[in-house]
Amino acid sequence: MLALVPGLRRSAVENRRFLRRVVRFLAVEAGIDQFLDIGVGLPTQGAVHEVAHEVNPEVRVVYADYDPVVIAHGQALLTVKDKSIMVQADLRDGAGILALPEVAAHLDVSKPVAVILFAILHFIADDVDPAGIVGRLGGAVAPGSYLALTHIGSDFFPDKQAMAEAVEVYEKASERVWPRGRDQILGFFDGFELLDPGLVPKHQWRPVTGVAPQAPTIQWGGVGRKPLSASSPAAAEDDRCR
């Protein structure tokens, strides 16, 4: 079981690298200047506002988490006057986060926002309807908004026993997790157009030339865009990626 721990550690490293690539893409190529990072966890180097402000100092960020310890640390380490704020909120009421007075005062929700859900959805049980949670959140953001997520994939484990052992290791370090298959994770992008290269092992998402990945990974990663036209079809398969 301990042999799985290095994989978890490598996955954490790749999560930060993935975040950096995604945020830079959104801030530079997509022109996004508003971010909502839900389930941010304990602050670490390379937070969303730090990466975004390297390319656009005007980017505004809302960090949200339900853990009081995370909130206390986040308010001390992640908040920048007029640039980033920390709020206590639960992903299970994702759409409600946008309606919080402090969030509405910080972000212009009538304009596109990038929603970041990194390593958070696998903490939501199926009977709580994670797809519905994401769907309601997606429905609440403006057309042209983006959804970026990572999720532990059951596909990365050779058998049920290996996955059970990995889950046990993860739970000892964190809390109960629900790995899901790639097809189920693709469903979280309903209503969004999945960008090229699609939903892939996160180290394969637009990698930086010359940077060796911390492979193997245990998480899928992807980015989708909410169509500008309500009549535009959502793309959830790789052959429909931009």
* pLDDT (tens digit per residue) in 157-174: 777 776 666 666 666 656
pLDDT of residue 42: 82
d(CA 85, CA 24): 20
Quick check: 61 pLDDT over 90? yes
- % of the chain beyond a pLDDT of 90: 66
Comparing CA positions, the residue from 166, 159, 241 lying closest to residue 200 is 241
Distance separating alpha carbons of residues 151 and 181, to the nearest angstrom: 9
Count of domains for the chain: 1
Beta bridge partners, 62, equal 36, 85
C-alpha dihedral, 138 to 171 to 152 to 61, nearest 10°: 40
Q: pLDDT by residue (tens digit) across 120-137?
A: 999 999 999 999 999 999
CA-based nearest residue to 222, from 203, 212, 210: 203
Residue 46 above 70 pLDDT?
Answer: yes
d(CA 112, CA 108): 8
Residues 38, 149: Cα–Cα separation, whole Å: 10
The predicted structure's pLDDT at residue 126: 94
Q: How far is CA 186 from CA 26, 71, 180, 221, in A?
A: 20, 30, 10, 10
Task: Supply the range of the domain harboring residue 208.
Answer: 2-228+236-240
Residue 129 Cα distances to 38, 71, 155, 223, angstroms: 17, 25, 21, 21
Q: Residue 108 forms beta bridges with which residues?
A: none
Sign of CA dihedral 141, 147, 152, 154: positive
Cβ–Cβ under 8 Å, residues 37 and 62 = yes
**Could you tell me the CATH number of the domain that includes residue 215?**
3.40.50.150
For 6, 35, 40, 82, 223, the CA distances from 112, given in Å and listed in that order, are 37, 9, 20, 19, 14
pTM listed for this prediction:
0.86
The answer to whether the beta carbons of residues 112 and 89 sit under 8 Å apart is: no
Give me 164's structure tokens.
Answer: 């059970």
Q: What percent of the chain has pLDDT over 70?
A: 81
- In this prediction, residues 138-142 reach a mean pLDDT of 96
Report angle CA 218, 222, 226 to the nearest 5 degrees: 155
